[in-house]
Chains A and B, each alone.
Chain A
C-alpha cells in the first residue's frame, strides 16, 4: 500500500517558523536595531535602496534585517513593496551641479574649481583586518570630529562645484548633455519594455541593475570587449534636493534631499566629416554611496551607445537586448531559483521519451548483430 506525500501546508509553516528562528540567531544576544543597520551597515542599505529603486533608509534597513543580510532578497522585499505605491507624478530632473558634495574626485584634472574632496572612502586604505573593531561597543572608538572640515574655508568648499563635463563643455570638447525636451520619461516599472529602447529606458534599467553584473560587463569593456577608452571625468557623492511641481499649488515644492552617487565618464570619439572631434560621455547615477556601481554603469552605458556614435559592434557589453534583459537581479534570481520547484511532470515526459529511444536503439543494435551473425 502506498500513501502519497502530503502536508505541503504544514511543511511550509514549519519552514517559515524555522527561518524566523534562524534569523534571530542566539537569543542571548540583543536583536539588531534598524538604526544600527542604517548607521553601521550604510553601504548595504544604500545598495538595497539603489537596486530596490526606493529611497527609504528605514525600510531598506528593515529589509536587510528581514533578509538576514541577503541583499538580493532585501532588494526583492523593497521592490515588492515599492510596486504597490501610488504614483503622484515626476519630480524635476535632479540638479547634481547643486549637490551638497560629500566626496568628489576627478581623474582628468589635478585640480579644478571646487577641488578634489576625498570624503569617506575605502580608497587608499590598507586592507588589513582591524581587530580593534572586534571589541564590542567602544563609544569612543572614533573621534567624533575626525576628518570633518575644521576651518570656515573648508566648510564653504561645497558651495560651488561645477561638473567636469560642464567645464569641458564650455570649450566644446565633449558632446553636449542630451537636452530635456520636457516629455515624460518612459517608466520601466509601469510599461513593458520593447527593444530597441531609448536612453531613459536604458538608464533606468541600468540604475536598478545588479551591481555585480554591471561590474563584470564594465570590466569586460576595459579588457578589450568593446573598448571605449574611459576616463573618470568625475565621480561625486552627496545630497541633492528633490523638487516637485505640484500643479494644484502652482509652485515648486521641495520633497527633501536624497543621497546619490554620480559618475560621468569621458570617452574618446573620432570626429566625422561634419563634426569636429569631441569626447563622448557615459553616465551613471545611483542612490546612496555606490561608486563601484555608478562607475560600472557609466562604462556599460557608454558601450551601449555604439550605434548612435557609429562604432563597430561585437562585444557582449554592447548588446542592448542581452545587457538590459538580464541585468535585473530580482528577475534573474527568481527564474534561476525556480528550478528548485517541482518539474516532475515535464521530467516524466522526458524520461518516457529517453526510455523509448533507448529501447529502439537496443532493438536496432540487436537486429544489426543478428544480421552480422547470419552473414
Chain B
C-alpha cells in the first residue's frame, strides 16, 4: 500500500497485508501453539494497527498472518457483510493485500467475523477468524490475569459453574445469552467471543479451522478442525439455544438467527436473518418471506 507523499516527506510504504514478515512469523508461531493446545490463550506481541483497539485488531492481525495472495476473503460483523466495520476491514485488506473478496460464505477461504458464525456450514478448506474483545472467560468473575492464569492451569472452573448456578437460582435461567462459555477438547474453558449462544453448537466438530484473535489483550487461541466443543451446562439444566417464534420476514428461513428491526413507533417490528449472505442466497433461490419484495422486484 502506498500512502500519499506529504509535502517534502518521503512516501510511506507497507508490506503485503500491512504487517512486516517478522511480525507475521511471530503471529503464526502463536497460532501454531494455539492449535496445538486447543482453547488455551497464547500470549502474543500484538501490534498497534491502523484501526482502533476493540475494533477487530486481533482478528485483523490473525487474518494478515494467514492470508496469501490466492485467498478469497469475507468479512462480516453481526452476520452482515455490509455493516460499516466489516466494510472498513474488507477495504483494508483489498488495499494492503489486494486479495479477492466475496460476500459468499461458500466461496471464501478466509472469513473474519465479529459476533456471528455464518449459517452456511463451513468446510475443511476454510478458516474462520473471530475478533475477540475479552478473551478471558473468567474475567468478569476474577479481574486479575495473575489469578485467572492459575485457575486455567489447575483447570479450576468452579467459579464459572457457581456463576451459572446462581443465574438459575436467581432468574430460573442461565442468564448468559452471548459469549457463552465452552469447554474445548475436554480441557480449557474458553470464551467463544460475543457470538450469541445460538451459534455455540456450530463450534463443535467444525470442519474449518477456527482462530480467535484479541489484539488489545494480546491473546490468540484456536479450535482445530473436528474438535469437541461443549457449552457448559448442568444435567437438570441442559444447554439450550434461542428459538424464534417466526421465520425470517424476507427469506422465510427457520432455525436461523434473526435480527429484530423496529419499523415504526407503534410497536411494529419484523425479524430478518442476521446472516445477510444466507438470506440473499435464499431469496435468490426463490424463497419469500411475508415482507419480501415479490419475485422480479428485488431490492
Contact indicator B270/A194 (Cβ below 8 Å): no
Residues of B within 8 A of A3 (CB): 293, 299
Known contacts A338-B133, A344-B78; is-contact A4 B272 (Cβ 8 Å): yes
- Known contacts A12-B91, A337-B54, A352-B177; 5 additional CB pairs below 8 A are A4-B299, A335-B216, A342-B84, A345-B116, A349-B177
> Nearest residue in A to B15 (C-beta to C-beta)?
A84
B residues adjacent to A (C-beta < 8 A): 6-7, 9, 12, 14, 18, 20, 43-50, 52-55, 57, 77-79, 82-88, 91, 114-116, 133, 144-146, 171-173, 175, 177-179, 194-198, 216, 218-219, 242, 249-250, 257-261, 263, 270, 272, 274, 276, 291-293, 299
B279 to nearest A CB, angstroms? 9
Query: CA separation between A335 and B79, bound complex, in Å?
Result: 21
Contact indicator A8/B50 (Cβ below 8 Å): no
Contact indicator B291/A1 (Cβ below 8 Å): yes
Contact indicator B55/A338 (Cβ below 8 Å): yes
Chosen A-B contacts, 5 in total, with CB atoms closer than 8 Å, are A83-B48, A334-B216, A338-B52, A348-B196, A351-B260
A residues adjacent to B (C-beta < 8 A): 1-4, 6-9, 11-12, 34, 58, 62, 76, 79-84, 86, 189-196, 321, 325, 330-331, 333-338, 341-346, 348-353, 356-357, 360
Query: CA separation between A244 and B299, bound complex, in Å?
Result: 64
Residues of B within 8 A of A195 (CB): 144-146
| Residue in A83, A330, A351 with the greatest tally of chain B CB atoms within 10 Å | A83
B172 to nearest A CB, angstroms? 6
Residues of A within 8 A of B250 (CB): 2, 4
A321 to nearest B CB, angstroms? 6
Total residue contacts A-B, CB cutoff 8 A: 157
Query: CA separation between A62 and B8, bound complex, in Å?
Result: 12
| Residue in A194, A345, A348 with the greatest tally of chain B CB atoms within 10 Å | A345
Contact indicator A321/B194 (Cβ below 8 Å): no
Query: CA separation between A12 and B171, bound complex, in Å?
Result: 42
Query: CA separation between A325 and B216, bound complex, in Å?
Result: 10
Query: CA separation between A356 and B87, bound complex, in Å?
Result: 34
Contact indicator A352/B194 (Cβ below 8 Å): no
Contact indicator B88/A357 (Cβ below 8 Å): no
Known contacts A2-B272, A34-B7; is-contact A353 B177 (Cβ 8 Å): yes
Residues of B within 8 A of A196 (CB): 146
Contact indicator B48/A79 (Cβ below 8 Å): yes
Contact indicator B87/A8 (Cβ below 8 Å): yes
Contact indicator A62/B6 (Cβ below 8 Å): yes
Contact indicator A343/B260 (Cβ below 8 Å): no
B220 to nearest A CB, angstroms? 10
Residues of A within 8 A of B43 (CB): 192, 194
Residues of B within 8 A of A342 (CB): 77-78, 83-85
A361 to nearest B CB, angstroms? 9
Contact indicator B53/A345 (Cβ below 8 Å): no
Known contacts A62-B6, A195-B146; is-contact A1 B216 (Cβ 8 Å): no
> Nearest residue in B to A357 (C-beta to C-beta)?
B171
Judged by DSSP, the binding face of A is helix
Contact indicator A349/B197 (Cβ below 8 Å): yes
Query: CA separation between A191 and B9, bound complex, in Å?
Result: 31
Residues of B within 8 A of A351 (CB): 260
> Nearest residue in A to B20 (C-beta to C-beta)?
A84
Known contacts A192-B45, A330-B48; is-contact A345 B78 (Cβ 8 Å): yes
A162 to nearest B CB, angstroms? 38
Residues of A within 8 A of B84 (CB): 8, 11-12, 342
Contact indicator B44/A12 (Cβ below 8 Å): no
Residues of A within 8 A of B46 (CB): 192
Contact indicator B260/A348 (Cβ below 8 Å): yes
| Residue in A6, A79, A84 with the greatest tally of chain B CB atoms within 10 Å | A84
Residues of A within 8 A of B53 (CB): 330-331, 333-335, 338
> Nearest residue in B to A65 (C-beta to C-beta)?
B6
Query: CA separation between A4 and B292, bound complex, in Å?
Result: 10
Closest 4 CB pairs of A and B: A334-B53, A338-B54, A334-B52, A349-B177
Name the one of A2, A58, A321, A356 contacting B144, with C-beta atoms under 8 angstroms: A321
Residues of B within 8 A of A11 (CB): 84
B295 to nearest A CB, angstroms? 12
> Nearest residue in A to B43 (C-beta to C-beta)?
A192
Name the one of A83, A321, A337 contacting B52, with C-beta atoms under 8 angstroms: A337
Residues of A within 8 A of B270 (CB): 2
Known contacts A8-B83, A360-B172; is-contact A345 B259 (Cβ 8 Å): yes
Residues of A within 8 A of B91 (CB): 9, 12
Contact indicator A8/B259 (Cβ below 8 Å): no
Contact indicator B12/A346 (Cβ below 8 Å): no
Residues of B within 8 A of A336 (CB): 54
B217 to nearest A CB, angstroms? 9
B224 to nearest A CB, angstroms? 22
Query: CA separation between A357 and B43, bound complex, in Å?
Result: 39
Contact indicator B83/A80 (Cβ below 8 Å): no
Residues of B within 8 A of A12 (CB): 84, 87-88, 91
Residues of B within 8 A of A193 (CB): 218
Name the one of A191, A341, A346 contacting B55, with C-beta atoms under 8 angstroms: A341
Query: CA separation between A342 and B78, bound complex, in Å?
Result: 7
Residues of A within 8 A of B83 (CB): 8, 342
Residues of A within 8 A of B242 (CB): 349, 352
> Nearest residue in A to B149 (C-beta to C-beta)?
A194
B78 to nearest A CB, angstroms? 5
Query: CA separation between A7 and B57, bound complex, in Å?
Result: 23
| Residue in A2, A337, A356 with the greatest tally of chain B CB atoms within 10 Å | A2
Residues of A within 8 A of B14 (CB): 84
| Residue in A333, A344, A351 with the greatest tally of chain B CB atoms within 10 Å | A344
Known contacts A321-B144, A344-B78, A349-B197; is-contact A192 B218 (Cβ 8 Å): yes
B163 to nearest A CB, angstroms? 16
Name the one of B50, B87, B145, B172 contacting A357, with C-beta atoms under 8 angstroms: B172
Contact indicator A58/B52 (Cβ below 8 Å): no
Query: CA separation between A191 and B164, bound complex, in Å?
Result: 35
> Nearest residue in A to B257 (C-beta to C-beta)?
A345
